[in-house]
Amino acid sequence: MKKYFEGVQPHIGCKKGDVAEVVLLPGAPERVEKIAKMLNSYEKVSERREFKVYNGVLGEKRVTVASTGIGCPSAAIAVEELANCGAEVFVRVGTTGAIQEDKDRRRDNSRSCGEGRRHDQRIHKCRVPCGCEL
C-alpha cells in the first residue's frame, strides 16, 4: 500500500527533495518571504493555507524557510510533513510571544536545544552544535 507521504504532502504541498536538510520555522506566513530575502538567493516552492515554503542559500548552505501557522497542531503538521520531504534540522525563529502591552520583548532572545516527543509527533534531536548544556 502506498503511503501519502511518499508523494506531495497534503498540507505543505512539497515532496521529497523539495526542501533542504535545515529549515527555519517562523510562525507567520508573511515572515517567510522577509526572511528569504535576507538569504543570498531564494525561490518560492509552495504556498497552501497557512504554510508558505521558500528555498534559498545561506553562505554556501541550502536552507528552507517554512511557516508553521498558529499553535502546536499546525506546527506539528508542518514539521512532520517537512521531515517526510527530507528536512532534518528545525530552527524555530520568531517573536516567541511578544504581545504583552506592558512589556516590549521584541528584542529578547531565547535559545533552546534538545529533543521532544509527544504522542505520535516526530520531533527529532537537535543536531545544531549550539554549545548548550542540557
CATH class of 17-96+108-123: alpha beta
pTM of the model: 0.74
Q: In the prediction, which pLDDT does 127 show? A: 45
pLDDT single digits (tens) 70-83: 888 999 999 999 99
Question: Which residue type does 84 have?
Answer: N
- Cα 66 to Cα 43: distance, rounded to the nearest angstrom: 12
**Domain layout of the chain by residue ranges:** 17-96+108-123
DSSP-derived letter for residue 112 is: -
pLDDT, greater one: 100 or 53: 53
The mean predicted confidence, pLDDT, of the chain is 80
